[in-house]
Structure 1
C-alpha cells in the first residue's frame, strides 16, 4: 500500500514542469516575434529598394510600392551604372565608384595601421605623458566635423590637395586615427605583459614584438577597426562634398546629385538601383565579416 502513497506527488511535479515549459515556450515565441518585427523594420526599406529597382517606370507610377515587379528588368541598373546623368555628364556611377575605392581602401589601411601602432605604444610601451596623449586622441572622436571645415580647407589649399582624392585620403586618415587608436589600445591592454617582457629580454625591439607577437594575437580588433573605418569613410558625405570637385567626387556626392536632379522625370527605379550600388560594398563587407565583427566586439575589442 505504500507504493501508491509515494507516487502521489508525481502528478503535481509533472504539472509544474509542464507549466514552466509552457511559459518558456511563450517567452521564446514572443522573443522571436519581436525579432521578426525588428528584422522586418530594417529589411523593409532594402526590399523596397531592390523591388523598385527591377520595375519599369509605368509599373512604378501605377502604384504598389510593396508589390514584386511583374516584368523584372535590369535596365535601371545598367542606366545607374553607366548611363545616368550626374550634373552635366552622363556616365553613370562607375567613375565615382572608382573614386570611392581609391579613397577608401588606402585611408582604411593607413589609419588602421597607424592606430594599431599608437595603441600598442600607449598600452605596452608607456612613457611620460602617455595618459595625456591618449586622452587627447580620444577627445578627437568628439570634435564635430563641421567645426574643422574651415581650417581643413585652408590646410588642403596650402598643401595643394584641395579637390583631390589624395586630400580626402589624408583627411580620413587623420580623423580615423583617434578611433582606431582607442580600439587597439584598449584591446592591447588585455595582452599579457609577460609576453612583451620575455621578448624584450631576448633582444626583440619595438616593431619586431609588434609584428611577430602582438599583431597576430589581434585579428578580432583588426576586423572591428577595418569595418568601422570602411563604413565611416565610404558613407562620408560632409568631407566629400566640401573638399572634392566633380572629377574626384566619391559615390555619396554622385548619388546625392543624381537623386536631387531637377531635370526631366524622376526615374525612381534608377535612383533605387543607384542607392543599392552605393550601399553594396558595406553590405558585402558586413555579410562576409559580420561574424568576426561580433566576435571582436564580444572578445574585448572595445573594452576599456
Structure 2
C-alpha cells in the first residue's frame, strides 16, 4: 500500500467501545460494515471488465473474500447480540452510489479510495472494541482489505499513465466521495452521543480519513498540490468535468441513485437492496447462537 498503518491510524487515547454499555452504537457501526461487504457482489461486474488474467484472478479471489467478510460481521453481531438493520444512506451512497462507470473509476474510487476508508474503519474498531473474539476476526480480515487497497492503488497508477484527462476525472469523482464522508461525519455529530469516550473523536477520525484519501491521491499521481489550494470554483469545475465526461449510461445511473431511495421509483432489485430479507442473513444469528451453546 502507498500509506502505512501508522499513517492511517487515529489515536483514540485508549478509549474503548464496551459491548454491554455500547451495544446500540456497536450495532449501528456493524450494520454499516455489513452493507459495505455485501456490495462485494459488484466485484462480479468488474471481473468481466478485467484488463488481464492477473487482474481477473485477483477479483475472483476478492469476491470470495467479500462474502466471507459478510459472514464475519454476522458472526460478530451474533456474539454481541446485535441485529442486521438497514445501512445509513450516506454509506449506501459511498458504497453503491459511487460505483464506477469504467475500470479506472472502479479501481480508483471503489478499491483505492473506498476500501481505503473501510480499512481505516477496520483499524479503528480493532483499536477500540473491547471484545477480543471480534477483534481477532477483524485482524484476519484486515490483511485482505490491505491487499484490495494496494491492488486499487497500483491499477489506478497504471490506468492514468499518460492520461491527464483521466486524472482530472478521477480527482473530480474523488471530491464527491470525500463530500460523502463529510456528510456521514455530519450525521454522526448530530445523532450519536458526543460525550462518549470513543464517539467524541469521530469527527476528527473522519477528517483524518479525508486527509489520508488526499495523501493517497497525491501518491497515486491524481494531484500534485494540496486540495486546500483549489478554490471552490476549481473544485466545482473538476466535478462537472468528471460527470460530463462519463458515459451516458454511467452518468444516468449516478444521477438517478438518490431517486432509487424513493419507494415508488422503479428499479431492479439486487442483493444490496434485499439482503436483510435473505434467509442467510435472517437465520445466521440463530444458527451461530445454537452452535455456541453446543
TM-score (normalizing by structure 2): 0.26
Which protein shows a greater Rg? 1
